[in-house]
Amino acid sequence: MASAARDLRYARRPAVDGSLAYDLDWAVRQRELEHAGERRRERETVQERPRERAVPQVRAREHVSLFAVAGMAAVIVLSVLVLMNYVQLTVLSSDTVALKSQLETLQTENVVLTAQYEQMFDLTAVKEAAEAAGMSKPGSSQISYVDLSEGDSAVVYRQEEPSVLSRLLTSLHHGVYAVTEYFN
């Protein structure tokens, strides 16, 4: 039987045409030619498989780009800065409104005080207020005049020469003062 199989393998081979290499696909092609046109046989018994539980599919872990993280951080920081600037703008706007109302109040008060000031320096009102306080114009006996027609003069007094001990104490005092000023 082995010899029959050997004969079948080599019996239908074409003559060598210059190459003695084995044709490894020859048996496969021969079997396909013999069974050409036949239907494949399938197993007739179908076994029921037990139902499998649905297992959730887990995606493979994806790597996050460093640039994406840095970009998101930059967006978050800039958003916070914009919000802080809006808060500062709101505070400054409310301060401006408060200062404008205070300015209007102060301008009104300025008009009132200016009118009172001008009224205070009305000479008739000042004279009446002075007379009501018991003041009167000075008499001729109460007036005195200073005569500055003579030349100016000044007297300079010489100071005594300090002793050696006082000069030594003065220079020591200046030295201590300079050192304390340097370290302060």
Predicted confidence (pLDDT) at residue 180 exceeds the cutoff of 70: yes
Tell me how far CA of residue 7 lies from CA of 10, 12, 34, 96, 124, in angstroms. 5, 9, 17, 112, 156
Q: What is the pLDDT of residue 152?
A: 82
Could you report the per-residue pLDDT of 103-124, keeping only the tens digit for each?
Answer: 999 999 999 999 988 877 778 8
Could you report the per-residue pLDDT of 129-157, keeping only the tens digit for each?
Answer: 889 999 988 888 888 888 888 888 888 88
Phi, psi dihedral angles at 37 (to 5 degrees): 90, -15
Tell me how far CA of residue 60 lies from CA of 57, 63, 101, 169, in angstroms. 9, 10, 65, 91
> Which of 23-32, 44-53, 114-123, 175-184 has the least mean pLDDT?
44-53
Predicted confidence (pLDDT) at residue 85 exceeds the cutoff of 80: yes
Residue 169 amino acid letter: L
Map tokens 């210059």 to a residue.
18
Half-sphere exposure of 147 (CA within 13 A, CB side): 2
